[in-house]
């Protein structure tokens, strides 16, 4: 039983490293987009967003919605690498 557990741990290590590498970029990109969208909405509500407040409101909202995409990709990558654990064969 311990040999099987050791083999499973060795197979999991590269997956965890890959997931950490993916997490660095996807979560960083998602947080950057989220904070940028919040800043745009804050500027629009404060009246310092420029001449056209509606455009800044729409762009801020789209930016926040777009920030959900990297988080969804991170979730799917984690599921595929850590939960599913099947080899994909063509």
Average pLDDT for runs of 10 along the chain of length 90: 61 80 86 92 78 85 90 84 64
- DSSP secondary structure letter of residue 2: H
Instruction: Quote the pLDDT of residue 8.
Output: 62
The string over 30-41, giving b where at least 16 C-beta atoms fall within 10 Å of a residue's C-beta and e elsewhere, is beebbebbeebb
Instruction: Quote the pLDDT of residue 45.
Output: 86
- Strand residues in 10-84 grouped as ranges (E): none
- DSSP secondary structure letter of residue 47: T
Please report, for the chain, the start and end positions of each structural domain, with discontinuous segments joined by +: 14-80
Query: 26: burial class by Cβ within 10 Å (0-12, 13-18, 19+)?
Result: buried
| Separation CA 30–CA 27 (nearest Å) | 5
């Amino acid at each position: 039983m311990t040999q099987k557990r050791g083999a499973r741990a060795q197979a999991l290590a590269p997956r965890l490293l890959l997931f950490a590498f993916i997490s660095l970029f996807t979560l960083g990109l998602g947080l950057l987009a989220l904070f940028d969208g919040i800043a745009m909405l804050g500027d629009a509500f404060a009246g310092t967003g420029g001449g056209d407040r509606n455009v800044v409101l729409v762009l801020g909202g789209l930016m926040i919605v777009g920030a959900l995409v990297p988080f969804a990709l991170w979730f799917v990558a984690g599921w595929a690498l850590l939960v599913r654990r099947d080899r994909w064969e063509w």
